[in-house]
Homo-oligomer: A and B are copies of this chain.
Amino acid sequence: MKSDLEQLLGERGLDGLWVTGAAQNNPAMVYFTGAALITGADLLVRRGAPPVLFHHLMERDAAAATGLKTITYQRYPMQPLLREAGGDRVRAAALRAARMLAEVGLTSGRVAICGQVEIGPVWGALNALTGLLPGLELVGEGDDSVLMQARATKDPAEVERIRQVGKITLAVVDELLNYLTTRPLRGESLLDQDGSPLRMGAVKEKIELWLLERGLDVPEGTIFSIGRAAGIPHSSGDPSDPLVLGKTLLLDIFPAERRGGYFFDFTRTWCLGYAPEAVQDLYEQVEGVYSQVRARAFPGSAGGVLQDLACDLFESRGHATLRTDPQTESGYVHGLGHGVGLNIHEAPWLTGAAPGADILRVGSVVTLEPGLYYPEREMGVRLEDTLLVDETGAVPLLEYPKELVLPVPG
C-alpha cells in the first residue's frame, strides 16, 4: 500500500518517482489524487519527502482538494521558456520539467516514471530532458513497477471504496434477477415487452444503464453470455442470442468508479427455469473448487500454487486444463484470479505466470474465479467473488448466493 512506497523505492535503488498525465483514467495518478477533474499534472516524489503535485492554475480547486502539497505550472511561465527553447514547444516542456525536478531536488539520480500519456510529445520532451540533465536516469519499469508493487495491497480506505462499488454492483445484479424472473414466457423463450424473444444484447444494455444510473462507469465492458458463448471465456456474449431456459447464463460484471477509480469484479452463472443434469454437475464441481481453493488462500500463499491446486482438482475430475494442454478450449481454460484495484487486472496474479508478483498479503484484494468451459456442448460455468486477504484468509468483500436455477413464472 501507499505507506510501503518509501521502502520499495529504497529496495530498488530509486531516488524518486514521477507520475505524469491527467487525474482521470490514469491509475498511477488517481492513486495519489483520487479521480479528480485535473486534466494535466505531474506528481514528483523524492524519497524521504512528501509528494508534490504540479498543476494548472485553472485547476487549483481540484488540486487543493487532493490534500497534497501543490505548485502551479505558472511558477515557470511558458513565454520565457519558449524563448529559451527557440520556439520549440517540446523543448520548452523539457526546460519546465527540469525546473520542476530542481524544485524537489531530483535533477540527478534514478527516477522511475509512470502515468498515462500521449507518447508523442512526452517522448520528445523526455529525450530533451535527459540531454539537459545528464545525471538523471529516468527508469521505465515494466508490470512489476515499484508503484504496481505498492498498489498490490490496499489500505482500509481503498478497501472501503472497492466494497462500495461492490454494493452498487450487487444491487444491479438483484435488479437483473428480478427482471429476468418476471418476464413472460413462450415455450422456452423469455419475451420482450413487444412479445418478441428477449435478446441478450437488450438485457446487457439494461445492465450497463442500471450501473451508469447508480453513478458507476463500465470502462471495460460487461460479459453477458448464454450457451455456447458462455463456454468461451473471452467472449463477451452474442447480442442476438435469445434468453432461453435450461442454458448456462453467465454474467461477469466489473464496473468502476467514474473517471477511472476503483473496480469490483463479480461473476455468477445461472440456468433459467431448470438446469440439465450435466450443467448441475459442472456447477457443483466449480463451486467445490472455489471453496477448496479459498480454504487454502492465506497471507503468504503464492497465486501460482493456488492455480496449481485448482488444476489438480479439475484434472482429478477428468477435465483438461491449460497445464495439461496449453491449446485446449475445453475444460479449465482460464486463470484462477487476479488483483483488483485501479486496474481491473493487477498484481497479485493468480495465474501461475507471474512468479514474484503472485504472493497474497494482508490487504490484497483478489478475485477467485474458477470455471469449466465446454463450448461444443454449449455450456460454461464460472463463479467469481472479489475477496480481501486478512489474517484469517481470503474473505469475500460481499456475500452473494451461489444458486444455479432461477425460477421463472408458470
Q: Is A140 an interface residue (CB 8 A)?
A: yes
Does A201 sit within 8 A of B, measured CB to CB? no
Stretch of A141-149, A248-256, A391-399 contacting B (4+ beta carbons < 8 Å):
A141-149
A203 CB-CB contact with B under 8 Å: no
CB proximity of A399 to chain B, nearest CB, Å: 30
Known: A118-B28, A118-B115, A221-B37. A89 touches B123 (CB 8 A): no
Contacts of A123 in B (CB 8 A): 113, 123, 126, 138, 140
How far, in Å, is A243 (CB) from chain B's closest CB?
22
In whole Å, how far is A354's beta carbon from the nearest beta carbon of chain B? 10
Copies of chain A in the complex: 2
Q: Report chain B residues within 8 Å CB of A37.
A: 221, 236
Is A116 in the interface zone, CB < 8 Å from B?
Answer: yes
Instruction: Pick the contact of A142: B115, B121, B209 (CB < 8 A).
Output: B121
CA distance A124 to B112 in the complex (A): 10
Inter-chain CA distance A145–B123, complex, in Å, is: 13
A198 to B40 CA separation, bound complex (whole angstroms) = 33
CB of A121 within 8 A of CB of B139, answer no
Give 1 or 0 for each of A104-136: 1 = CB within 8 Å of chain B CB.
000000001111111111111111000000000
Interface residues of A (CB under 8 A from B): 20-21, 25, 28, 37, 58, 89-90, 93, 112-127, 138-145, 209, 212-213, 221, 234, 236
Known: A90-B142, A113-B123, A126-B140. 5 other contacts (CB 8 A): A93-B142, A114-B118, A116-B118, A119-B122, A125-B140
Q: Which 8 A-B pairs have the closest CB atoms?
A: A124-B140, A123-B140, A114-B120, A90-B142, A89-B142, A121-B142, A212-B212, A120-B141
